[in-house]
């Protein structure tokens, strides 16, 4: 996020776009992994609901840190 400290708005915007693309790519990989895990578990015919804990933890664990950056990103996008 070093590009967000730049004084040039064009450089800042380019850095912001790069970071958002990285975040979307990473979250997409996590979602693909969660779907693959869900298919693998349901094919094994596991009973109960605790099988959902690992994929839920992966989704929350990767999405929650983005919430910490939202205010900074919004501020950088407006400047």
| Domain positions in the chain | 2-78
CB atoms within 10 A of CB 65: 10
Write the pLDDT tens digit of every residue in 5-56. 667 778 878 888 888 898 889 999 999 999 998 888 888 776 778 888 888 8
Q: Which has the higher per-residue pLDDT, 51 or 73?
A: 51
Predicted model pTM: 0.71
**The pLDDT value given to residue 32:** 95
């Amino acid at each position: 996020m070093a590009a967000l400290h730049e004084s040039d708005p064009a450089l800042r915007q380019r850095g912001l776009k790069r970071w958002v693309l990285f975040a979307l790519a990473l979250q997409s990989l996590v979602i693909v992994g969660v779907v693959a895990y869900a298919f693998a578990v349901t094919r094994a015919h596991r009973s109960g609901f605790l099988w959902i804990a690992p994929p839920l933890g992966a989704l929350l664990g990767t999405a929650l840190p983005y919430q910490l950056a939202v205010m900074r990103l919004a501020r950088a996008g407006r400047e």
